[in-house]
A = this chain, B = another copy of it.
Amino acid sequence: MRSDKITIADVAEALQVSKTTVSRAISGKGRIGEETRQKVLAYIEANDYKPNVIAKGLAQKKTYNIALVIPGDCNLVDMPFFQNSMQGICEEASANDYDVMLVPVTSSNSGNLERMIANDKVDGVILSRSLVKDTNIALLKEENLPFVMMGTSRDAKILQVDNDHRAGCCALVSRMLHSGIGRIGLIGGSKNYVVNRTRMQGYEDAFHAACSKLDMALIMEDCDSADKIASAAAKLVQAGVGAIICMDDFVCSVTLQVLAEKKIAVPQQIQIASFYDSTLLRNAKPAVTSLVFDDRALGALTCKVLLRYIQGEEVEPKSLLGYELVIRESTLF
């Protein structure tokens, strides 16, 4: 920390007022004469005084920091999501004079989060990838530290903000069903992630809404590696599906590769759609029909909810953001 900066005491002395007065002029709290306040503000402006946030925080028992817990082991598909939502979070945070501390956590090691909590360096926490069983949640509850899940949790008592994967996936599948494609296959990702289960629900919703029966033989869940995805895709081709829905863009890119190798034309022979559009598929050929979500907005809203909650304001227990269905070359509708 540099020490060449002026303090509230310097300002007070220069203006021949008390530190209390200066503090009040800045914070706007407490009664203060309009003239005095203008004088203080003018001096501050002219001399480029910035209050020390750390000291302010100590006095108020706040830190003006939030922690962002990110997986310490995420893979390529997730990265655009984290990158974008992080931007949104940081933007919203800094608009409220908050800063964001990075806390990488792996399933085997939540020590970083524990340290952060023990050190009292944050006022709240954003959890970012929702696992079906998440040990961090227990930790935070125990410590009684405000937190919000960027994603979905089955525990209704947890504040959560998410993209509306369920409605989006339902809309995409409905569209497919109505376009008259007979057999629709699904290749799903790891069931450890809540988001994959949520997407699955959307898929089922669409079938129920259309009064169609799910064909379990065409649903390949838990494909968490390129190999599993490839063999699932091969099976669906074998089964003679007219379309394949991929649960995320990694699934989709592997599936496209398999089809290309088998010389199956997309969309003429098999149509393809993806439940999530990341930059990973940006250059795919053909361009893939998919759902797109505004991850930056998701981050911003998540942060906003957390900050409101910290400030004791009323917040929605669960917020959902919309989706966009973008039709591209990989489908015929």
Q: Which A residues lie at the B interface, using CB under 8 A?
A: 1-5, 50, 52-55, 57-58, 61-63, 65, 68, 72, 74-76, 79-80, 82-83, 86-87, 90-91, 94, 97, 99-104, 111-112, 115-116, 118-121, 123, 143-145, 226, 253-254, 257, 279-280, 282-283, 285
Give A233 Cβ to nearest chain B Cβ, in Å.
14
**Assuming the A-B contacts A76-B80, A86-B102, are A283 and B226 also in contact, with contact meaning beta carbons closer than 8 angstroms in the complex?**
yes
Question: In the complex, what residue of chain B is closest to A61 when comparing beta carbons?
Answer: B1
A120 lies within 8 A of B80 (CB): no
> Cβ of A53 and Cβ of B120 under 8 Å apart?
yes
Residue of B nearest to A79 (CB): B79
For A144, give its contact among B2, B100, B103 (CB under 8 Å): B2
Q: Is the CB–CB distance between A99 and B120 below 8 Å?
A: no
Q: Is the CB of A120 within 8 A of B283?
A: no
Instruction: Pick the residue among B55, B90, B285 that contacts A104 (CB under 8 A).
Output: B90
State the 7 A-B residue pairs at the shortest beta-carbon distance, nearest first.
A79-B79, A53-B119, A50-B118, A1-B61, A100-B102, A76-B279, A90-B104
Chain B residue nearest to A56 in the complex (CB)? B119
Residue in contact with A83 in the complex, picked from B5, B50, B79, B283, CB distance below 8 Å: B79
Extra contacts, 8 of them, besides A55-B58, A257-B285 (Cβ < 8 A), are A2-B145, A53-B121, A54-B54, A54-B58, A76-B76, A76-B79, A97-B119, A99-B121
CB pair B226–A2 under 8 Å, yes or no, is no
A1 near B102: Cβ-Cβ < 8 Å: no
Q: How far is the CA of A91 from the CA of B73 in the complex (A)?
A: 13
* Interchain Cβ contacts under 8 Å between A and B, 5 examples: A4-B144, A52-B120, A65-B101, A76-B80, A94-B111
